A and B are shown apart, each in its own frame.
Chain A
Amino acid sequence: GEDVEQSLFLSVREGDSSVINCTYTDSSSTYLYWYKQEPGAGLQLLTYIFSNMDMKQDQRLTVLLNKKDKHLSLRIADTQTGDSAIYFCAESRDTGGFKTIFGAGTRLFVKA
C-alpha cells in the first residue's frame, strides 16, 4: 500500500518539546519529509532526510528515522505558539517521475 500514517492531533505547552510521529509502508522510499501548513497558506518544507540516514538536526528541529520499523519522527524543541500548524509527513520514491505520498497531517496546538 501507499499509506503514510500520522496521529491527527497533538497539544503541548509553550516551551515544551513536541514530538510528531509518522509511519510509512513503502520500503523503497528514498526521501522522507516534514512539511508545515499554517492556516490559509500553502505547504512549507521544513526538513527532509535521506533514507540512509538515522537522524538530522536543523536548529530546533530533529528528525529521527527508523528504517527497520518505517517510523519517522519530528521533534520541535522549545515549542512556540508560532509553531501551531498542521505538520505533514511525506515520503517519495523514484518511479521514473517524482511521486510524493503525504500523511493526513498532525494538527499541533501550542498552549501559552
Chain B
Amino acid sequence: DSGVTQTPKHLITATGQRVTLRCSPRSGDLSVYWYQQSLDQGLQFLIQYYNGEERAKGNILERFSAQQFPDLHSELNLSSLELGDSALYFCASSAGFGLAGVETQYFGPGTRLLVL
C-alpha cells in the first residue's frame, strides 16, 4: 500500500460525457502527478501540481483539466470523452516540488476508465 488513494476504481461511461477522477496523496506529500496508461500509448505523464499550483505539464489534452485543492487532494476532469480515452489513470505523489529524480513518486492503484 503506497498511501495514495484513488477513486473510483472503475468507471464506465459513454462518449461525450464528462467524468472526474479523484486522488488523495500520501499524508504530507505536496506534489500530485497524473498519468495515463493505455495499450497503444503506454504510460504518459499528464500533469503535476505542487501545493495547489500547476508545476509541470506533459501530454495532457485540452479536454482534460486538473486541480489541486487546499487539502492537497487532486481531481482530474475528463470531458467530451472519446473511445480512445479508455485507459488506466494513475495518480502519484511526492513529498516536495519534484526536483528531477530527487524525490520518489508513490503511485496509487489507478482508476480504470472505459468509454463506450
Contact A97 B48 (CB under 8 A): yes
Per-residue CB contact flags for chain B residues 82-112 toward chain A (1 = under 8 Å, else 0) read 0000000010101001111111111111100
Which of A31, A98, A104 has the most CB atoms of chain B within a 10 A radius of its CB? A98
Please list the residues of chain A having a beta carbon within 8 angstroms of any beta carbon in chain B: 30-31, 33, 35, 40-45, 48, 50, 88, 92-105
Please list the residues of chain B having a beta carbon within 8 angstroms of any beta carbon in chain A: 2, 4, 31, 33, 35, 42-45, 48, 55-58, 90, 92, 94, 97-110
Contact B101 A42 (CB under 8 A): no
Contact A101 B109 (CB under 8 A): no
Contacts of B107 in A (CB 8 A): 35, 42-44
- A-B pair count, CB < 8 Å, reads 69
Main secondary structure of the interface of A (DSSP, over half): strand
Contacts of A33 in B (CB 8 A): 101
Contact B45 A101 (CB under 8 A): yes
In the complex the two chains form, what is the Cα distance from A102 to B45 in whole Å? 8
Contact B101 A31 (CB under 8 A): yes
Contact B43 A105 (CB under 8 A): yes
Which residue from B31, B45, B109 sits with its C-beta under 8 Å from A99?
B45
Q: Can you list 10 contacts pairing A with B, beta carbon distance less than 8 Å?
A: A30-B100, A41-B109, A42-B109, A43-B43, A43-B90, A45-B106, A97-B55, A97-B57, A98-B55, A102-B43
Contacts of B48 in A (CB 8 A): 97-98
